[in-house]
Amino acid sequence: MLSTFVSFATCALLVSAAPTIIPKYQLQARDTGQIEPGNTPVLGQQPDFAGDVTRCEGYSVDSVTSTSTGGLLASLSLLTECNAYGTDISSLRLSVEYDTPTRLHVHIYDSALHQYQVPDYVLPRPSSTSNGEGAADRSGLKFDYEENPFTFWVTRKEDNAILFDTRPSNIPTYKESTQIQGNYSNYTVLPAHPLVFEDQYLQISSALPTDANIYGLGEVIAGSGYRRNSSATVQTFWARDVGDPVDENMYGVHPMYMEVRWSESCQKLMSHGVFLLNSNGMDTILRDGVIQYRAIGGTLDFYFFSGPAPNDVASQYAQAVGLPQVMPEWSFGFHLCRWGYTSVNDTRTTVRRMRDAGIPLEVQWNDIDWMRAYREFQYDQNFQPAEYKAFVDELHSMNQHYIPIIDAAIGKPTHDIFDVYSRGHELDVWMKNPDGTEYVGAVWPGFTVFPDWFNPNMQTVWTEAFYNFSQVVDFDGIWLDMNEPSSFVDGSATNSTIPIEDTTVVPPNYTPTGPPVDYPEGYWPNTSGLSGNLTIDGRLTYGANGTAPKNEALRRSYTVELPIEKRQTDGYVPKIPYVDEPPYPIRNQAGRLSAKTVSPNATHYGGLEEYNVHNLWGTMEEIATHNMFLELKPGLRPFMVARSTFAGIGRKTAHWLGDNYSTFAYMKRAIQGVLQFNLFAIPMVGPDTCGFNGNSDEELCNRWMQLSAFFPFYRNHNTKLAISQEPYVWDSVRDASIKAINARYALLPYWQTLFAKASQWGEPVIQPLFHQFQSTDYLSIDSQFLVGSSLLVTPVLQPNESSVTGLFPSSDGTFWVDWWTHARLDTSSRNGENITLDLPLGNIGVHIRSGSILLLYDQPEYTITETREGGYSLLVVLDDEGCAEGDAKVDDGYSYPVHEQTCLTFKATSGCLSSCDQGNFNVDQNLKSIVLVGVWNKPGWITLNGHDIDDSQVEYDQTVGRVKIAGVEGDLNNGWELKWA
| Secondary structure class of 356 (helix, strand, coil) | helix
581 is catalytic: no
Contacts of 877 (CB under 8 A, 6+ apart): 817, 848, 849, 850, 851, 852, 853, 884, 933, 934
Q: CA of 594: how far to CAs of 6, 481, 590, 600, 734, in Å?
A: 17, 19, 9, 6, 44
Residue type, 805: T
158 is catalytic: no
Using CA atoms, how far apart are residues 712 and 653, in angstroms rounded to an integer?
Answer: 13
Bond prior to 939 in cis (omega within 30° of 0): no
Answer whether 257's CB lies under 8 Å from 237's CB: no
Query: Among the residues of 204-264, which ranges form H helices?
Result: none
Angle, CA of 913, 915 and 917, to the nearest 5°:
175
Using CA atoms, how far apart are residues 659 and 671, in angstroms rounded to an integer?
Answer: 15
DSSP string, 931-956: EEE---S--S-EEETTEEPPGGGEEE
Catalytic residue among 241, 481, 688, 833: 481
| Secondary structure class of 344 (helix, strand, coil) | helix
Using CA atoms, how far apart are residues 561 and 846, in angstroms rounded to an integer?
Answer: 31
Instruction: State the burial class of residue 382 (Cβ atoms within 10 Å of its Cβ: 0-12, 13-18, 19+).
Output: middle
Catalytic residue among 244, 369, 438, 659: 659
Answer whether 972's CB lies under 8 Å from 905's CB: no
Helical packing angle, 458-470 and 419-427, nearest 10°: 160
Using CA atoms, how far apart are residues 280 and 198, in angstroms rounded to an integer?
Answer: 13
β-sheet bridge partners, residue 263? 268
- Polymer length of the chain: 981
Helical packing angle, 458-470 and 617-632, nearest 10°: 50
264 is catalytic: no
Catalytic residue among 165, 484, 621, 891: 484
Using CA atoms, how far apart are residues 109 and 298, in angstroms rounded to an integer?
Answer: 8
Using CA atoms, how far apart are residues 733 and 706, in angstroms rounded to an integer?
Answer: 9
Report residue 186: phi and psi, to 5°.
-65, -15
Using CA atoms, how far apart are residues 957 and 962, in angstroms rounded to an integer?
Answer: 5
CA terminus-to-terminus distance, the chain: 59
SS (H, E, C) 150-214: EEEEEEECCCCEEEEECCHHHCCCECCCCCCCCCCHHHHCECCCCCEEECCEEEEEEECCCCCEE
β-sheet bridge partners, residue 265? none
Using CA atoms, how far apart are residues 450 and 597, in angstroms rounded to an integer?
Answer: 11
Tally helices (H) and strands (E) across the chain: 15, 50
Using CA atoms, how far apart are residues 420 and 508, in angstroms rounded to an integer?
Answer: 17
| Secondary structure class of 60 (helix, strand, coil) | strand
Q: CA of 293: how far to CAs of 246, 622, 814, 946, in Å?
A: 21, 27, 41, 65
CB atoms within 10 A of CB 946: 7
Answer whether 841's CB lies under 8 Å from 804's CB: no
Host H or E run for residue 539: strand 539-540
Region for residue 113 given its phi and psi (left: phi exceeds 0; alpha: psi -120 to 50; beta: otherwise): left
Answer whether 528's CB lies under 8 Å from 541's CB: yes
Structure-derived torsion over alpha carbons of residues 9, 12, 13, 18, reported in degrees to the nearest 10 = -170
CB atoms within 10 A of CB 372: 18
Residues marked active site are found at 481, 484, 659
